[in-house]
Amino acid sequence: MLDEKTRKDIISLMHREVVPAIGCTEPVAVALCVAKATELLGTVPERLELRLSGNILKNAMGVGIPGTGMIGLPIAVALGALVGRSSYGLEVLREVTPDAVEKGRAYISEGRISIKLCEDAPSNLHIEVVASDNAGNTSEAVISGTHTNFVYLRVGNSVIKSDNPVTDGDENQERDRELDMRTVYDFAMTAPLEEIRFILESRSLNKAAAELALDGGYGHSLGYAVRSHGRKYFGDSPLAHIISYTSAACDARMGGAPVAVMSNSGSGNQGICATMPVVSFAEDVHAGEEDTIRALVLSHLTSIYIKQSLGRLSALCGCVVASTGASSGITYLMGGGYEEICSAVKNMIANLTGMICDGAKPSCSLKISSGVSTALMSAMLAMDGKCVTAAEGIISDDVDRSIHNLTSIGREAMKETDRLVMEIMTTK
């Protein structure tokens, strides 16, 4: 059993990384930064000038903004200025109303927003906002490294906060403990239940989002398609349930449903992907509450661990990370122990490495479905004693080395991929 300090460090880490969010976290983080700059200015800005890192632009271009029926950054920026509250964090747009949306449309049409690429951004997640009023007063807010991390705040000539900019690879400095797979497993299996019961909130929030979208009407309605006429092809099976539940929650989130989901490592889709396959499978096998809690903790913490070396935003699709977490949770629910879970993780890495992120958008539900179906397949193989070996591709005998092989590819080798994806998206 882990010592008390280690347990407390990990619980603190999970409370930071598994949090509710309304809407896609990239445009929401931009709205949060705008809300803070507006609050510093003390009035709705006459003009907003934004400079954003490429990955923020990529992930905000094609996604629905909750409660608006609109897509992309301008409405998120306008609403951040008009009704956003920075104290709400990633739920900054909680108070959006139809009237606010109409005012936001007018704000955009008046040409009061300027959005540019920040070519010298120190990290992939970087947001700069300068707000000004008619009298020439200005304020500035900068988020960098993580979605809620303000590193610079200014009102006029008075600097309120000025931290060193966060560079790629340093965004995890605030974490108390670097993880490994053995620690993740031991924590999930031995932590007192009352200390980790909070993870059930991820089930409540993400399942509610899924059920909202299962009637169709959000995104590409993939969850609805699999749940309804898709039964002809998938049957009424655990795989069909996993795909429909998980993709439906993504449909709702990417389609702009005004609901909160539980995020993981700054991503709502990752939170959905780490949660819903485990929840669905637990229901199908009639798992008890304790096993469900421990499986969810294992899934979410595995995802956090992988993100520690991958970074917040990269060219590697986040469903690769979160589906790997989900596979570990499913393997546990199948009766697997540490060795089987490590095998499932390696099977996942052997299959999904290289899936690109081309921004947050409704079709993310398709990628998530690929990830979670692989999660079930990898768990089944692991329980049959089958594991991709070190003689094959990027897999090493050691599970932690295999994970770092994955994250090295996503963080370093795919930089040019990221640049080209951004170029394609902005010039088509």
**Burial class of residue 175 (count of CB atoms within 10 Å of its CB; 0-12, 13-18, 19+):** middle
Q: Which two tokens stand for residue 261?
A: 């989901």
Please choose, from the candidates 410, 394, 411, the residue with its C-alpha nearest in 3D space to the C-alpha of residue 402: 394
Q: For 32-43, what is the mean pLDDT?
A: 98
CA dihedral (167, 171, 172, 175) positive or negative: positive
The pLDDT-based confidence of 169 (bands split at 50, 70, 90) is low
For 14, 149, 163, 196, 264, the CA distances from 300, given in Å and listed in that order, are 8, 21, 30, 12, 7
Residues 6+ positions from 366 with CB-CB distance below 8 Å = 220, 222, 247
Q: Cα–Cα distance between 354 and 407 in angstroms, integer?
A: 10
Based on C-alpha coordinates, what's the Rg of the chain? 21
Residue 172: pLDDT over 60: no
Amino acid at 145: G
Q: Would you give the distance in Å from CA 344 to the centre of its chain?
A: 22
Residue 303: pLDDT over 50: yes
Contact (CB, 8 A) for 131 and 40: yes
Residues 6+ positions from 221 with CB-CB distance below 8 Å = 213, 251
Q: Cα–Cα distance between 278 and 259 in angstroms, integer?
A: 21
Please choose, from the candidates 42, 122, 43, 30, the residue with its C-alpha nearest in 3D space to the C-alpha of residue 79: 30
> Percent of the chain at pLDDT above 90?
80
The pLDDT-based confidence of 170 (bands split at 50, 70, 90) is low
Q: Cα–Cα distance between 280 and 239 in angstroms, integer?
A: 9
Angle at 175 between CA 63 and CA 33, to 5 degrees: 40
Q: How many CB atoms are closer than 10 A to CB 112?
A: 19
Per-residue pLDDT, 71: 87
CA dihedral (6, 7, 12, 14) positive or negative: positive
Q: Cα–Cα distance between 280 and 145 in angstroms, integer?
A: 33
pTM of the model as a whole: 0.88
3 state DSSP class of 265: coil
Reading phi first (left if > 0) and then psi (alpha if -120 to 50, else beta), residue 217 is in left
Mean pLDDT of the chain: 93
Beta bridge partners of 262: 20
Q: For 299-304, what is the mean pLDDT?
A: 98
Amino acid at 73: L
Q: For 28-54, what is the mean pLDDT?
A: 96
Per-residue pLDDT, 173: 45
Q: Which two tokens stand for residue 88?
A: 């709400």
**Burial class of residue 394 (count of CB atoms within 10 Å of its CB; 0-12, 13-18, 19+):** middle
Contact (CB, 8 A) for 130 and 16: no
Please choose, from the candidates 402, 386, 187, 374, the residue with its C-alpha nearest in 3D space to the C-alpha of residue 296: 187
Q: Would you give the distance in Å from CA 112 to the centre of its chain?
A: 30
Residue 196: pLDDT over 50: yes
Q: Which two tokens stand for residue 373?
A: 């179906």
Q: Which two tokens stand for residue 243?
A: 């795909």
Q: Cα–Cα distance between 399 and 414 in angstroms, integer?
A: 22
Q: Cα–Cα distance between 71 and 213 in angstroms, integer?
A: 18
Q: For 256-269, what is the mean pLDDT?
A: 90
Give the model confidence (pLDDT) of 353-394 as tens digits: 999 999 889 999 999 999 999 999 999 999 999 999 999 999
Contact (CB, 8 A) for 26 and 60: yes
The number of C-alpha atoms within 13 Å of 270 and in the hemisphere containing its C-beta is: 30
Helix axis angle, 181-190 to 399-408, nearest 10°: 120
For 182, 249, 400, the CA distances from 209, given in Å and listed in that order, are 32, 5, 33
The pLDDT-based confidence of 177 (bands split at 50, 70, 90) is low
Instruction: Write down how long the chain is.
Output: 428
